[in-house]
C-alpha cells in the first residue's frame, strides 16, 4: 500500500495540502439560558413569592390537609371536655353547645338580635334555644346582666358566662381555634363583623372570630348552615366548625325534646315545618337525660368528606339540608317520610347512605352508641 492509497474509502491528503475543514457541530438548544433570560425568570419568581401567589399554589393541598388534621385534633379536645362533664354530672351530657368563647358565642348574639345588630341565618329573627334557660335568669348567670355596648365595645368587662355548659362550667371556657378562620375569614365570625355589611355571623367564633362554633346554632338538631357548604366556591361554607347532636335516654328525637322544652321556656323558638321536621314527638318525652351524643366537624370545602348524614333536598334541589341524623345511627329520623327514597318508611333511619357528601371529616360519639364499623370509620 502506498501513501496515496485511499484509506477507508476517502482520498488521502496530498503532502503539503491544507488540512480539510470539518463541518461545524450543530448547536444544541435548551442546554441553558442566557444571562438576561435567567434574570427575568428569577425576578418573576420573586414577585410571585412576594405576592403570596406561588407559596399558595405550592402548599394549597398540604395546607388543606394540615388544617383538616388540626380540626380533627380540636374535635378530640371538645370530646374530652364532654366526657369530663359527664363524669361530674352522673353520666349526663349537655343539652347543647354553642362554641366560641365563654362570653361571646351564638347564644349571646341571638339574645341581642332584636337590637338589629345581628341576624341569624337563615332566619332573620332571634333564635332562643329552648334549653338555654339562662335567658330567663338575671343572677348569677344570664344574658340580662350585660348590655349591648359592653358586648360590642368592652367584652373584657363582661362578668358572666352565657349558655354553653362546657363554657360556663369551666370545662372549655374557650373553644379551640379554627385554622380556617384566619385572619380575614375571622372577620366574618367576630364582633368586627357588626361594623360591616355582613353581620350575620358576628360573635359566633368569639370576640376575635377565630374559634370553632356549632353549626346547629345550639339546637343540637339540623346543622342548617351546612346546607350552604354545597357552594363550590366556599364563600358560604363553614370549614373547621363542628356539630353537636344530643341523644336522649328516652329515645325521643332531639327536635321532640326541643319542642317540649320550648313550652317550659317562654320566648324560646323551635323551627316548625317546612323549616323544621314533620315528626312532632314532644308528647313522648319521658326524661330529659342526655345519654350520648354525636360530634362531627367540617373540613375544607374541597374535601367532600363522609356520607353519613340523612340529608334532605332543599328548595329547588340546588342544595341539601343536613338533618343531623346519621345513617344507621340507631334512632328515628324526624325528617324522613315514606316515599323520600325507595323503601322509605315514616321517620325510619336510612339503611344506607344517601349519596350526598356531607363535608364531615371526623365523627366522634360516646361509647354507648353502637355504630357499625363502616360508619365508625367515617364513611359508608
Q: Are 145 and 247 in contact (CB under 8 A)?
A: no
The 10s digit of each residue's pLDDT in 173-210 is 899 999 998 877 788 888 888 877 777 788 889 989 99
pLDDT for res 321:
77
The 10s digit of each residue's pLDDT in 114-159 is 455 555 444 455 567 888 888 777 766 677 766 767 777 777 777 6
In angstroms, how far is the first alpha carbon of the chain from the final one?
89
Phi, psi of 128 (to 5 degrees): -80, 110
**Collapsed DSSP state (helix, strand, coil) of residue 251:** coil
pLDDT for res 45:
65
Scanning 98-215, the segments in alpha helix (DSSP H) are 106-111, 148-153, 165-168
Which residues make Cβ contacts (< 8 Å) with residue 280, sequence separation at least 6?
A: 256, 259
Position with higher pLDDT, 341 vs 83: 83
**pTM to 2 decimals?**
0.78
Tally: H helices and E strands in the chain: 7, 5
**Collapsed DSSP state (helix, strand, coil) of residue 214:** strand
Amino acid at each position: 500500500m502506498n501513501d496515496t492509497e485511499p484509506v477507508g474509502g476517502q482520498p488521502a491528503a496530498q503532502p503539503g495540502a491544507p488540512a480539510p475543514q470539518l463541518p461545524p457541530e450543530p448547536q444544541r438548544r435548551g442546554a441553558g439560558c442566557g444571562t438576561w433570560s435567567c434574570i427575568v425568570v428569577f425576578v418573576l419568581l420573586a414577585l410571585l413569592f412576594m405576592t403570596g401567589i406561588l407559596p399558595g399554589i405550592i402548599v394549597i393541598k398540604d395546607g388543606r390537609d394540615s388544617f383538616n388534621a388540626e380540626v380533627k385534633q380540636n374535635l378530640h379536645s371538645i370530646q374530652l371536655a364532654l366526657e369530663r362533664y359527664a363524669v361530674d354530672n352522673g353520666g349526663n351530657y349537655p343539652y347543647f353547645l354553642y362554641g366560641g368563647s365563654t362570653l361571646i358565642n351564638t347564644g349571646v348574639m341571638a339574645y341581642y338580635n332584636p337590637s338589629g345588630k345581628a341576624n341569624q341565618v337563615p332566619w332573620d329573627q332571634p333564635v332562643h334555644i329552648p334549653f338555654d334557660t339562662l335567658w330567663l335568669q338575671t343572677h348569677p348567670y344570664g344574658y340580662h346582666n350585660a348590655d349591648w355596648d359592653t358586648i360590642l365595645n368592652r367584652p373584657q368587662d363582661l362578668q358572666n358566662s352565657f349558655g354553653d355548659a362546657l363554657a360556663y362550667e369551666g370545662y372549655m371556657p374557650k373553644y379551640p381555634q379554627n385554622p380556617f378562620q384566619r385572619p380575614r375569614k375571622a372577620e366574618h365570625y367576630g364582633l368586627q363583623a357588626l361594623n360591616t355589611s355582613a353581620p350575620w355571623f358576628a360573635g359566633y367564633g368569639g370576640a376575635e372570630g377565630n374559634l370553632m362554633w356549632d353549626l346547629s346554632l345550639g339546637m343540637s338538631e339540623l346543622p342548617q348552615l351546612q346546607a350552604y357548604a354545597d357552594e363550590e366556591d366556599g364563600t358560604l361554607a363553614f370549614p373547621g366548625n363542628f356539630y353537636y347532636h344530643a341523644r336522649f335516654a328516652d329515645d325521643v328525637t332531639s327536635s321532640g325534646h326541643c319542642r317540649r322544652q320550648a313550652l317550659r321556656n317562654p320566648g324560646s323558638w323551635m323551627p316548625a315545618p317546612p323549616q323544621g321536621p314533620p315528626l312532632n314527638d314532644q308528647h313522648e318525652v319521658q326524661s330529659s337525660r342526655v345519654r350520648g351524643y354525636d360530634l362531627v366537624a367540617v373540613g375544607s370545602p374541597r374535601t367532600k368528606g363522609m356520607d353519613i348524614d340523612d340529608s334532605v333536598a332543599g328548595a329547588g334541589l340546588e342544595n341539601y339540608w343536613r338533618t343531623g341524623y346519621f345513617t344507621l345511627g340507631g334512632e328515628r329520623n324526624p325528617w324522613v317520610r315514606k316515599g323520600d327514597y325507595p323503601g322509605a318508611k315514616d321517620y325510619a333511619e336510612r339503611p344506607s347512605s344517601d349519596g350526598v357528601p356531607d363535608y364531615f371529616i371526623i365523627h366522634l360519639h360516646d361509647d354507648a352508641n353502637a355504630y357499625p364499623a363502616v360508619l365508625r370509620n367515617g364513611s359508608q
